[in-house]
Structure 1
Amino acid sequence: MTDLSQAIHRALLTGDARGKVMATRALVRDWRRGVLPTGFSARMPDHPEWPERLVVLPPGKMPKRGKAGSERNRIALWHSLAHIEFVAIDLALDIVGRFGAGMGDDFVADFLGVAAEEAMHFALIERHLVAMGADYGDLPVHAGLWLSAQETAHDAGARLAIVPMVLEARGLDVTPATLERVVSQGDLRGAKILQRILDDEIRHVAAGARHFEFYCRTHGKEPKNHWKMLVNRHFKGTLTPPFNDSARLAAGLSRDLYESVV
């Protein structure tokens, strides 16, 4: 019988974007119903499959979006958001398949829930792109998010410290300004999508922070010091203000934590 890790492995190696969304939703639904048993027999791939037509460039080679407020700029923004959410599906699936055996049932349930919500986010943004006359894959993307997954593939604590508690937390900082810009452009449907994503991402970051605390307790680590060490070791960027302190606090990230590495 297929187990959870095998279903995750297949979803990760599904390159078609809509196929990955459907595979993710199906495996989460089946696991919740008890049809898909928890098991970790499959090894996770080093890199997930992405759509064949997707042009992946180094982060420094990405083209500029164009004049602010232009149609080209608007499409580039939503295409970038679509890619972030698409890779977020892979990140949530991979953290379950790679570390679920050692982190417990609550960890599995939380991050399968994250995967389902990231799939929903991508589907909402993709439909919005189509309504604008564009498709996911029309513009180049970069693999920076997945590089962080590869950097932390050896350790659940490092993965939690970097992906939910740094990268997704950064989304809490920048999304409100993006939402305001979208509203100013009269894109109320897009604003609703971004508000839904912001609300969900607070819970995603909170799950990361909660399970990082658990990881530290079970490994005899002091959370704040261990998080700072992991960020300095594995995060290639810099943490710079402004921070969305209220959203971060709602997600369980105190200001003294992240200011310790600014």
Structure 2
Amino acid sequence: MTSIAAACRDILLTSDPAAKVTLARATARAWRRGELAHRFDVAMPDEPARPAEPELLAPSRMPKRGRGGSAKGRLALLHALAHIEFSAIDLAFDAAGRFGAQFPRAFSDDWISVGADEAMHFAVLDRRLRGLGSRYGALPAHAGLWEAAAATSHDAAARLAVVPMVLEARGLDVTPDTVARIEAAGDHASAGILRRIYTDEIRHVGFGSAWFGYLCANGGFAPAAHWQMLVTQHFRGLIKPPFNDSARAKAGLTREFYAPLAVN
């Protein structure tokens, strides 16, 4: 029987976006049906395979995009979000395949379900781009999204602290205003997609918070203080307001974690 680690590695090494989505969904179904062994017998790659497009640029070279009010600005915004979701497929399956042996089986359950969600998110965003006359890959994209994974590849607690509890939590902060702007521009279809993603991301951040708490309880660490130490060591960006405190709290990420690191 194929192992879950081997299945995760196969997803990471699949570069074509449509093929990655298909494989991610098939892997999640196979896992739910008991068709993959809870075994971690292969290593995850240092980096996932990349499609030929989009062109990946350093953050300093990325063109500035609008806030989603104009048609061009909405395309740029939706493309950027599609790229985040595409990268998030790899992040979720990498977490399951790389760190699953350190946790109960439920850890794999959670992150494989996250990977399936991210594949769905990417697929609906790409479909929306095509409906608007564009496609994923038509614009350049941020090259730094895998940096957080590479910086935390050695430490499950650091990965959970940075990826779901910083990067995905930031999405909870900014999405409600983004939805409001897109609604105001009359693009109700795109706004509906982002509302669905927002709801799912609360659950994803919650998985990160819960498993981070599990590690802290087993290691005898104070969760908030340990999170702050790991974020300071491994996250190169800023923890900055405004914060969506209510959504973060629903996900188990309370102000005692992030308020001491906030930069105004």
Query: What's the CA shift for 1:240?
Result: 0.8
| TM alignment of 1:1-262, pairs within 5 A | 1-65=1-65, 69-262=69-262
Partner secondary structure for residue 80 of structure 1: helix
Post-superposition Cα deviations, 1:9-49, rounded to whole Å, max 9, x if no partner, equal 11111000011001000011001101111111110001101
- Whichever residue aligns with residue 255 of structure 2, its letter is R
Q: Identify if the C-alpha distance between structure 1 residues 67 and 29 changes in structure 2 by more than 3 Å, giving closer, same or farther.
A: closer
Structure 1, 68-77 or 90-99: larger mean CA deviation: 68-77
Post-superposition Cα deviations, 1:218-241, rounded to whole Å, max 9, x if no partner, equal 122111111000011011011111
Distance 2:81 2:111 in 1: 20
- Unaligned 5+ residue runs, structure 2? none
Query: What's the CA shift for 1:152?
Result: 0.3
Query: What's the CA shift for 1:68?
Result: 5.9
For the 8 Å contact 2:89–2:118, the answer to whether it is kept is yes
Post-superposition Cα deviations, 1:132-161, rounded to whole Å, max 9, x if no partner, equal 100100111112221000000000000000
- TM-score normalised over the length of structure 1: 0.98
Distance 2:163 2:13 in 1: 20
Partner secondary structure for residue 144 of structure 1: coil
Post-superposition Cα deviations, 1:103-142, rounded to whole Å, max 9, x if no partner, equal 1211110111110101110011010000010010011111
Q: Identify if the C-alpha distance between structure 1 residues 68 and 203 changes in structure 2 by more than 3 Å, giving closer, same or farther.
A: closer
Partner secondary structure for residue 63 of structure 1: coil
- Whichever residue aligns with residue 86 of structure 1, its letter is F
Distance 1:39 1:68 in 2: 44
Partner secondary structure for residue 27 of structure 1: helix
CA RMSD across the alignment = 1.1
Distance 1:20 1:102 in 2: 26
| Runs of 4+ off more than 6 Å | none
- Count of paired positions: 262
Distance 1:164 1:69 in 2: 28
Partner secondary structure for residue 200 of structure 2: helix
- Unaligned 5+ residue runs, structure 1? none
Q: Identify if the C-alpha distance between structure 1 residues 66 and 190 changes in structure 2 by more than 3 Å, giving closer, same or farther.
A: closer
Post-superposition Cα deviations, 1:48-94, rounded to whole Å, max 9, x if no partner, equal 01211221111111012258633221110100000000001000000
Post-superposition Cα deviations, 1:199-225, rounded to whole Å, max 9, x if no partner, equal 000000000000000011112211111
